[in-house]
Structure 1
Amino acid sequence: MKILIVDDDPLVYQSLQVLLTREKDMEVIGTANDGALAIEKCEQAQPDAILMDIRMPGMDGIQATREIKERWPHIRIMMLTTFEDEQNIRLALLAGAEGYLLKSTQVSSMSEQLRALVSGSSVLDAEVLKKLTQPEKQGLSELTPRENDILELVAQGFSNREIAKQLFISEGTVRNTLSIILDKLQVRDRTQLAIYYWKKK
């Protein structure tokens, strides 16, 4: 099994490289410290699985996951992060990741999870799964303050660019947050989102 490790912390990727290499059926074919380099490594080496950090300078893990899955859908991606918040979990899964583990996961367990991932299973850390399956409050109260801000501006007819300018965030952040809102509220598009908003107000 060929594995690519993507993380901007040298201590993390060096430790994982040493520990995973001890597994007889695993070969770490390289490391990368940002998403763009991860894409280059995929083109060169075609790993079976990637351990992907989320927050990195340059291209983050979520954008890299999206691009890798578009070009090489057979490559299995395990998000590996310290961030347990629901938004990152949902964004990672929407981008195409098949697994999500916390960096606190023991390496022995991580090896087993990687084997399961490559064999075709989806792998979610127990705490992650709990966050995704907890009953959610109905209505707008389940959204974060930032999600509510974006929802309100969408309902008022603003474009992504206008929303980004008004909230001092990037268009990419607006797009990602909109994906989360659509998923949380179970609506299909901006029009239905606006209708949902005005019905709830």
Structure 2
Amino acid sequence: MDSERKPVRVVIVDDDQLVRMALRLVIDGEPDLTVVAEAADGNAAVIVVDEQRPDVVLMDVRMPGLDGLGATREILARAAPPRVLMLTTFDSDDLVLGALRAGALGFVLKDTPPQRILDAVRAVADGSPVLSPAATARVIAAATGPLSSHARDSTRRAARERLSALTEREHETARAIADGLGNPEIAQRLNISVATVKAHTGSLFSKLAVQNRVQIALLVRDAEE
């Protein structure tokens, strides 16, 4: 790590005190990471984030009162919000999908090895999406699973309306992002420069009112369902 770079500031949100303690011990043991606060529910999380202005929030999904999805929506509606990394168990991935749509940058399972959680925090701090391999299949299934005809039509219509504001090149960039390509691969596919890809991606963020590439990918898939 660059010795002049400040440690990534982390807030831990979980209603289980033992989970918070364990995560704090793991994170604070790293020279490039530091826990600046904890919260036991979503309402407290919103307050703490406003006070501390962290870089990353490790957010539990299911909590009493305001859950992780509601807290994520409120936090990401702020100006210059932190990155949110969801903590989940297999039985709560229905809310994880909602959190990803709301703008969370990824999720990890609570039983993920400590080193992988640390790697996920660092990746999210740098703006890279993180999807735990052990749960990705379940989230994909939730995203593409059966919905009522009315619900699917409504979701598709809303997504297509948002995407209709894009230029043809922006559409192609969004499609490539949904395919999981990075900027160099998108540049190669579209025969444009990486700088142009970045410009198109910036336009996507603005026109679609999204904060990360995960939201773009989900929106494209919604439009195609």
Q: Aligned equivalents of 1:69 and 1:183: distance in 2?
A: 27
1:93 to 89, 100, 123: 100
Corresponding residue SS for 1:31: strand
Deviations 1:44-82 (A, max 9, x none): 110000100011111111000000000144410000011
One-letter amino acid of the counterpart of residue 186, structure 1: R
| Structure 1 residue 133, shift from structure 2 partner | 3.9
Gaps of 5+ in 2: 1-7, 160-225
When normalised by structure 2's length, the TM-score is 0.61
Q: Which runs of 4+ in 1 moved over 6 A?
A: none
Q: Aligned equivalents of 2:26 and 2:153: distance in 1?
A: 37
Contact 2:90–2:135 (CA under 8 A) maintained in structure 1: no
2:131 to 124, 127, 138: 124
Distance 1:128 1:183, change over 3 A: farther
Tell whether 2:62 aligns with 1:55.
Answer: yes
| Structure 1 residue 183, shift from structure 2 partner | 8.9
Q: Which residue of structure 2 aligns with residue 27 of structure 1?
A: 34
Q: Aligned equivalents of 1:134 and 1:60: distance in 2?
A: 22
Deviations 1:98-135 (A, max 9, x none): 01111011111111111111111010101332234459
Q: Aligned equivalents of 1:30 and 1:9: distance in 2?
A: 15
Superposition pairs of residues 1-201 of structure 1, within 5 angstroms: 1-84=8-91, 86-133=93-140, 142-143=146-147, 148=148, 181-182=151-152, 186-188=156-158
How many percent identity over aligned positions? 36
How many residue pairs match? The answer is 152
Q: Point out the more displaced range, 67-76 or 107-116.
A: 67-76
Q: Which residue of structure 2 aligns with residue 193 of structure 1?
A: none
Q: Which residue of structure 2 aligns with residue 169 of structure 1?
A: none
C-alpha RMSD of matched pairs (Å): 2.6
Q: Which residue of structure 2 aligns with residue 166 of structure 1?
A: none
Gaps of 5+ in 1: 156-180, 190-201
Q: Aligned equivalents of 1:60 and 1:183: distance in 2?
A: 28
| Structure 1 residue 136, shift from structure 2 partner | 8.0
One-letter amino acid of the counterpart of residue 108, structure 2: L
Q: Aligned equivalents of 1:18 and 1:34: distance in 2?
A: 20
Contact 1:17–1:28 (CA under 8 A) maintained in structure 2: yes
